Structure 1
Amino acid sequence: MARAALRCAAWAEKWFPDAYVFAVLGVVIVALCAMAFGATPKATAEAFGGGFWSLIPFTMQMAFVVIGGYAVATAPIVARFIDRLAQVPRTGRGAVVYVGLVSMLASLLSWGFSLVFGGLLVRALAKRSELRMDYRAAGAAAYLGLGAVWAMGLSSSAAQLQANPASMPPGLVEITGVLPFTETIFLWQSILLTAVLIVVSLLICWVTSPSGKAARTAEDFPDAALAEPDKSLPPRARPGEWLEYSPLLTVLLSLLAFGWLFSEFAAKPVVTAIANLNTYNFLFLSLGLLLHWRPRSFLNAVAKAVPSTTGVLIQFPLYGGIAMMLTGAKGADGDTLAHHLSQLFVHVATQDTFPAVMGVYSAILGFFVPSGGGKWLIEAPYVMQAANELQSHLGWAVQVYNAAEALPNLINPFWMLPLLGVLGLKARDIVGFTFIQLLVHIPLVIGLLWLLGMTLPYEPPVIP
């Protein structure tokens, strides 16, 4: 299985185009399908243009998830905390399991934070030569946050989107209404599914991690330079820079920021407050600013994080155009493409089997559209309409997407890139381990989505 995974990774690195190409292909395919069902070219083009800028608030919110997570993970005090965490494991195999646990727990707070934090923890552990930790297995374990459970946590863009009607594309709110976190990621069924995934993933880490002489340490990888660069700020060159190097502005801004956060969490239940994506991002940015202490250090971290947001910035407007073509371009019979797709789901699924059918579909589509949540903007209009018609629990439909959408991440090189950059590895170095995780996760996730879905009754959407 490991050899097959290495071959798959090598093929993907050679032949897979950039994710932007997949997004453009999605636009073309949806446009052609809309016209095939009777929509005029004029109506299709108007729908695409009308939806292109509809997701700008959500696009910026997702970009700030990455920036905020990176800023917190690279703060000096967090780096010292990582060094302390690296002293806990006593064996190489235990270190791999430990990295997997930390990565998955961190991803429930922020997937952007999890990737960077997990990578830095692996580097810190690799410096302990007495562990003989397999660097590849540890890198794969650090990726489990994004590859297994991130979408079940607070940074789930699908759950965040459904809890914030102002961020939804036009037409979706009429189908789904507002779904608070208590109906999605905080369902007991969702928490149970997440716990099972964490336990099983850690068991796989334990049994697949090479030990002793079979382990390949960081010394076996020339690009895994473990010597830490000088993180101290260069000396101030001009008098005008003194505020950039002084904590004064950080203190004043933090007083305002945390004063607002205290007021927000005091006035609302914690679940309600953190469900607001603006509040969530504001919390991470404020924390990152405070932990970096000096504005120049914080700005340097932000500058390093911004390149990781380019895919979000250029692709999400295309997803907005796709969503509008699905829901706004009507065919000759007066129905939209989203309606026809929802009818297909109604024909092939029942109320009981809908979670399993939707899970398989979302996982397969995820192999071709590597999206950390933007794919939900494409799927939501028709799968949620189908959920309404089949009277399947709407919040669980969101969680079905979240759990299934993460599956292809386990072997998709696109999402590995930030972590691989930190570790100095190639996708082929870790995908052999994540491929085994995928083989176990597929039947486990689909089976649990089906079984747990039968415990939830249908509730009509609440339209604001």
Structure 2
Amino acid sequence: MTTLTQDTTTEKGLARVAQTLARWTEKWFPDAYVFALVGVFIVALAALANGSSPQTIVDSFGNGFWDLTAFTLQMSMVVLTGYVVATSPPVARLINRLAAVPQSAATAVSFVAFLSMSVSFLNWGLSLVFGGLLARAIARRVDLRVDYRALGAAAFMGLGAVWALGMSSSAAQLQATEASLPPALLKVTGILDFGTTIFTWQSLTMCAIIIALTVAIAHFSAPRGDAIKTAFELGVDLDDSPVPAALRSRPGEWLEYSRILPILAGLMTLGWLVSQFLTKPLLSVVSNLNGYLLIFLMLGLLLHGTPRNFLQAVTKAVPATAGILVQFPLYAAMAAILTGAVGNGGLTVSQHLAEFFTSVGSGGGFAVVVAIYTVILGIFVPSGGGKWLVEAPYVMQAATDVQMNLGWTVQIYNVAEALPNLINPFFMLPLLAVLGLKARDLVGFTFLQFIFHLPVVLLLVWVLGLTFNFVAPVIP
């Protein structure tokens, strides 16, 4: 079996840097659960330093522990529905056809990165599952030896690069929906539709540049020769084929082997989808995560044909959700301490951070300051929409004070929001469950992307921000 202590002197350039980072992270990077536990205690110490009492901190910890319960279920269902759909015969054939396209190891890695980011612009949840299953399919090819860690990192690029610049951006969706905005924030920003945020030419240009940069880094950093570690060498089982259903043995099992109920459930889902398109804006329908999960769950039922086949696929997928179920509550507690433990002066840690970063920014430098602040806070509170509600009242008021375009300020937050994902394994968990890997296996490659992305993002938000004019918000 190949080991990480092998000679990698044949590697050059980015590939050698990626190998160095991969060796370091595999040796020193903790399990994602340990990472989350450490984060909780760091945030608690920060709250103590801010003047919060121990009682306030532990109350915030306990009271906020289950704040992400709905999101935890959603992420678990992202993994489950992805497995169920992908292991159905029709989708498995489609993924296998796509997996046959790349003709070299480096091309395979960059191919996965490009497709995962393209899908992520439409829906980040779909990107996680699609990218992971495509990586597995490529790794199963016997005619192509590809590094499975690099494939996995490439599959994560949708979340690590452009997800918040696309139509499923939590911050952009919140700002475009009056009913979702807290009154205090609504008074500052008014309604900012997608035409002022994700569909501006500046935002689309920034997205295209980041995609091109990410694909290039993925291609040139892909391990070659003896440095490659395949899924087999990593001990990953790549068998996604469904277990054949047992034969019907009694009359009461007739419906379990019938296609009638799946077809009826599919028709009901189709009727609901048509109703949504007729009564709601197109973008709000296609980017809704709950709707996506409903469609994928029913699609999985239809593609497997019978309830028995469907339930067998579900049973195989359930163990992959374990890490999500036990780790996400820690992030909820972390966020609660940051935003709920009031200290000296009646301010929380997050409020002090926001005041500091926005006070030192003015003019063109404001964009850079907001981006840096978003990256730092995002390492500890990896929640795009939830963190925006915490950050937005202060940042958007500061943007108004320095005459920064509010729609562009949202996009500054969005592009910077993706950067912490390259370090913090929070959003990596569903993909890790699909891949059968640990966070330490991918972070060496994603951290290399972070090194390049950070200065490019800071430059883009500065330069492109100069092309905007300030537009006073229209308050409903």
TM-score, length-normalised on structure 2?
0.78
- Equivalent AA in structure 2 for residue 388 of structure 1: T
Name which of 189, 203, 208 aligns with 1:195: 208
Q: Does residue 1:118 correspond to 2:118, yes or no?
A: no
**1:438 equivalent in structure 2:** 450
Q: Does residue 1:83 correspond to 2:96, yes or no?
A: yes
**1:310 equivalent in structure 2:** 325
Q: Does residue 1:221 correspond to 2:233, yes or no?
A: yes
**1:404 equivalent in structure 2:** 416
Q: Does residue 1:456 correspond to 2:468, yes or no?
A: yes
Cα deviation, residue 82, structure 1: 0.7
Note the residue ranges of structure 2 that are not aligned, 5 or more in a row: 1-16
Moved more, 107-116 or 251-260: 107-116
Name which of 97, 101, 106 aligns with 2:114: 101
Distance, in Å, in 1 between the alignment partners of 2:78 and 2:176 is 16
For 1:186-205, what per-residue CA distance to the aligned partner results, in whole angstroms no more than 9, with x for missing partners?
33222221111111111122
Any conservation in 1 of the 2:163–2:169 contact (CA below 8 Å)? yes
**1:11 equivalent in structure 2:** 28
Check 1:292–1:21 CA distance in 2 against 1; reply closer, same or farther (3 A cut).
farther
- Equivalent AA in structure 1 for residue 158 of structure 2: G
Cα deviation, residue 28, structure 1: 7.1
Distance, in Å, in 2 between the alignment partners of 1:84 and 1:158 is 35
Q: SS where residue 218 of structure 1 aligns?
A: coil
Structure 1 residues 35-46: aligned runs within 5 Å = none
Check 1:317–1:134 CA distance in 2 against 1; reply closer, same or farther (3 A cut).
closer
Name which of 302, 316, 325 aligns with 2:340: 325
Q: Does residue 1:251 correspond to 2:263, yes or no?
A: yes
Cα deviation, residue 103, structure 1: 1.8
**1:266 equivalent in structure 2:** 278
**2:39 equivalent in structure 1:** 22
Name which of 375, 379, 401 aligns with 1:367: 379
TM-score, length-normalised on structure 1?
0.80
Check 1:11–1:55 CA distance in 2 against 1; reply closer, same or farther (3 A cut).
closer
Check 1:240–1:83 CA distance in 2 against 1; reply closer, same or farther (3 A cut).
same
Q: Does residue 1:137 correspond to 2:175, yes or no?
A: no
**2:365 equivalent in structure 1:** 353
Distance, in Å, in 2 between the alignment partners of 1:265 and 1:275 is 12
Distance, in Å, in 1 between the alignment partners of 2:58 and 2:223 is 54
Distance, in Å, in 1 between the alignment partners of 2:390 and 2:27 is 29
- Equivalent AA in structure 2 for residue 12 of structure 1: F
- Equivalent AA in structure 2 for residue 147 of structure 1: G
Cα deviation, residue 16, structure 1: 7.7
**2:10 equivalent in structure 1:** none
Structure 1 residues 369-408: aligned runs within 5 Å = 369-371=381-383, 374-408=386-420
Distance, in Å, in 1 between the alignment partners of 2:471 and 2:298 is 37
Cα deviation, residue 60, structure 1: 6.1
- Equivalent AA in structure 2 for residue 6 of structure 1: R
Cα deviation, residue 406, structure 1: 1.8
Any conservation in 1 of the 2:122–2:287 contact (CA below 8 Å)? no
Q: Does residue 1:154 correspond to 2:171, yes or no?
A: no
Moved more, 46-55 or 150-159: 46-55
Distance, in Å, in 2 between the alignment partners of 1:331 and 1:140 is 42
The alignment covers a number of residue pairs equal to 456
Any conservation in 2 of the 1:31–1:325 contact (CA below 8 Å)? no
Cα deviation, residue 363, structure 1: 1.7
